[in-house]
């Protein structure tokens, strides 16, 4: 059965960049979010309240299909975001914004927990940590216009709070915290060490008993 690594973090924190680096230096296969290809994303950005539930459930199903493919393979997958962040962070965020009501949120919650009762959770979560000022600067340097470009400081801070709340309660999946405030070039020389650490976490060795 394949292994799953989920890279989580705020919008523009560097999830895509880290995924590319890990797959360049390690024996990993990337799985992308690709929101521009989701059928409800464009409508959602124009009318949050009408399309929030359909968009969120579509993302859930997309992530579930990715996880099924990963678990049926022998690969080590690195996922940019993932089902768990989609629920614990983005679904909670759109609920707090009033884009979905209580019943719709509970439907998402039931879907998520039912899915996790069937599909195993990630084998490792890498949480990218970044301060808000650096995050804003990094987002401003993006060379493309994206749907989340207009998120306010308050909204980005809320996403960071939701990430903290989720991962502080995470008891099953190992979480590797990775500060990512410096320029990405700084991390190129350290990526091999990170790959080695990931492999040790995914495939821990059993100590050989000492012979008396």
Query: What integer best gives the mean pLDDT of the chain?
Result: 90
Mean pLDDT in residue range 20-39: 92
Determine, yes or no, domain membership for 155.
Answer: yes
pLDDT at 185: 57
- 58-89 tens-digit pLDDT: 999 999 999 999 999 999 999 999 999 999 99
Determine, yes or no, domain membership for 84.
Answer: yes
- 170-199 tens-digit pLDDT: 999 999 999 877 766 566 678 888 999 999
Determine, yes or no, domain membership for 212.
Answer: no
pLDDT at 147: 53
Determine, yes or no, domain membership for 86.
Answer: yes
Determine, yes or no, domain membership for 192.
Answer: yes
Q: Which tokens sit at 149? A: 């470009």
Q: Provide the residue range defining the domain that includes 48.
A: 3-202
Mean pLDDT in residue range 139-153: 66
Q: CATH code at 113?
A: 3.40.50.300
Total domains in the chain come to 1
- CB atoms under 10 Å from CB of 60, counted, come to 18
**What are the C-alpha distances in Å from 19 to residues 7, 16, 23, 31, 198?**
7, 5, 6, 9, 13
Determine, yes or no, domain membership for 27.
Answer: yes
Tell me the C-alpha distance between 161 and 146, whole Å: 22
Determine, yes or no, domain membership for 207.
Answer: no
Tell me the C-alpha distance between 25 and 22, whole Å: 5
Contacts of 124 (CB under 8 A, 6+ apart): 3, 4, 5, 6, 173, 174, 175, 176, 198, 201, 202
pLDDT at 169: 94
pLDDT at 92: 98
Grade residue 101 by pLDDT with cuts at 50, 70 and 90. Answer: very high
Task: Say what percent of the chain tops pLDDT 70.
Answer: 89
Grade residue 152 by pLDDT with cuts at 50, 70 and 90. Answer: confident
Tell me the C-alpha distance between 14 and 200, whole Å: 23
Handedness of CA 46, 49, 50, 56 (dihedral sign): positive
Determine, yes or no, domain membership for 209.
Answer: no
């Amino acid at each position: 059965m394949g292994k799953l690594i989920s890279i989580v973090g705020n919008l523009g924190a560097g999830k895509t960049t880290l995924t590319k680096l890990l797959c360049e230096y390690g024996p990993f296969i990337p799985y992308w979010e690709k929101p521009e290809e989701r059928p409800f994303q464009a409508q959602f950005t124009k009318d949050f309240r009408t399309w929030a539930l359909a968009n969120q459930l579509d993302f859930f199903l997309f992530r579930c299909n990715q996880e099924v493919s990963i678990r049926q393979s022998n690969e080590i997958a690195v996922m940019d975001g993932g089902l768990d962040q989609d629920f614990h962070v983005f679904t909670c965020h759109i609920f707090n914004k009033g884009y979905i009501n209580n019943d719709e949120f509970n439907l998402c919650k039931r879907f998520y927990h039912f899915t996790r009762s069937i599909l195993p959770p990630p084998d490792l979560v890498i949480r990218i940590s970044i301060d808000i000022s650096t995050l804003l600067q990094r987002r401003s340097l993006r060379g493309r216009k994206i749907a989340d470009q207009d998120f306010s400081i308050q909204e980005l801070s809320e996403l960071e709070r939701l990430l903290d709340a989720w991962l502080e309660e995470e008891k099953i999946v190992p979480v590797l915290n990775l500060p990512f405030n410096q320029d990405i070039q700084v991390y190129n020389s350290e990526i091999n060490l990170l790959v080695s650490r990931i492999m040790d976490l995914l495939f821990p060795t059993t100590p050989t008993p000492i012979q008396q």
